[in-house]
Amino acid sequence: MYRKWIGLAATAALIVACGLGSAQAQEKKEAHEENETPLGKIMEKVQKLNIAVPKYVRNAAQYQKSRKDLDKALEEYIKLAKDSKSIREPYVTNVKDVKEPVKKWDEIMDAWEKTLKEMADGVKKEATSQKDAKQLYENVKKTCVDCHTIFRVEKEAF
Ligand code: HEC
């Protein structure tokens, strides 16, 4: 009799534990889906290029081998930068302590596109070395940081 009750209590505990487990999983899933903003989706594609491009310019041999791929990647990259520019909301509204947020947003977006174009033009020229190309990409990355520092508010801050 006593044993039977222990068994029941254990079963009940197991059911409770499972219920909690799936509730937590559900919560996590929702938090992830919340992240899927239109700009977030573009940024995921941007991130893929942000991994590919440094690989193409990693060293001289790789650079020579990848020039065509690099050219293609940069064309795609420029397109993504162009698509991002008009998605200012809600970022320019939510930001604090920035005087003219729309102007600031557009400035950084323009700098992003400009540095990408400079790199795309650069790698089309035979005289551009791997070192030059690497530096051109450093200029691009600076614009990512500039914008994220101001406009990309981490979820934890809310
Ligand atoms: C002018 C502004 C701006 C520039 C430039 C910019 N980003 Fe972003 N990025 C954002 C904002 C705003 C978010 C947050 C989007 C959201 O979650 O709604 C973001 C989010 C991201 C994310 C997270 C995507 C996700 O899963 O939600 C990655 C990765 C990212 N950016 C990479 C980059 C890289 C790499 C560059 C440069 C090559 C770059 N970004 C340039 C504004 C910018």
Nearest-atom number in ligand 1 for the CA of 38 is 18
Determine the pLDDT at residue 157: 46
The number of distinct structural domains making up the chain is 2
- Whether residue 51 sits in one domain with residue 2: no
Report d(CA 72, CA 143) in Å as an integer: 21
5 — pLDDT class (breaks 50, 70, 90):
low
- Whether residue 2 sits in one domain with residue 64: no
Pocket flag, ligand 1, residue 111 (CB < 6 Å) = no
CATH of the domain at 123: 1.20.120
Determine the pLDDT at residue 153: 72
Quick: pLDDT tens for 77-106: 999 999 999 999 999 999 999 999 999 999
Pocket flag, ligand 1, residue 39 (CB < 6 Å) = yes
Comparing 67 with 27, which gets the higher pLDDT?
67
For atom 13 of ligand 1, the residue with the nearest CA is 152
* Ligand 1 centre distance from Cα of residue 40 (Å): 7
- Whether residue 140 sits in one domain with residue 65: yes
* Ligand 1 centre distance from Cα of residue 158 (Å): 18
Expressed as residue numbers, the domain containing 26 is 1-34
Write down the pTM of the prediction.
0.81
- Whether residue 80 sits in one domain with residue 10: no
For atom 11 of ligand 1, the residue with the nearest CA is 152
- Residues contacting 130, CB < 8 A, separation 6+: 57, 59, 60, 62, 63, 64
Determine the pLDDT at residue 36: 87
Pocket flag, ligand 1, residue 67 (CB < 6 Å) = no
- Whether residue 95 sits in one domain with residue 26: no
Determine the pLDDT at residue 10: 60
Quick: pLDDT tens for 102-119: 999 999 999 999 999 999
Report d(CA 90, CA 149) in Å as an integer: 16
- Whether residue 88 sits in one domain with residue 112: yes
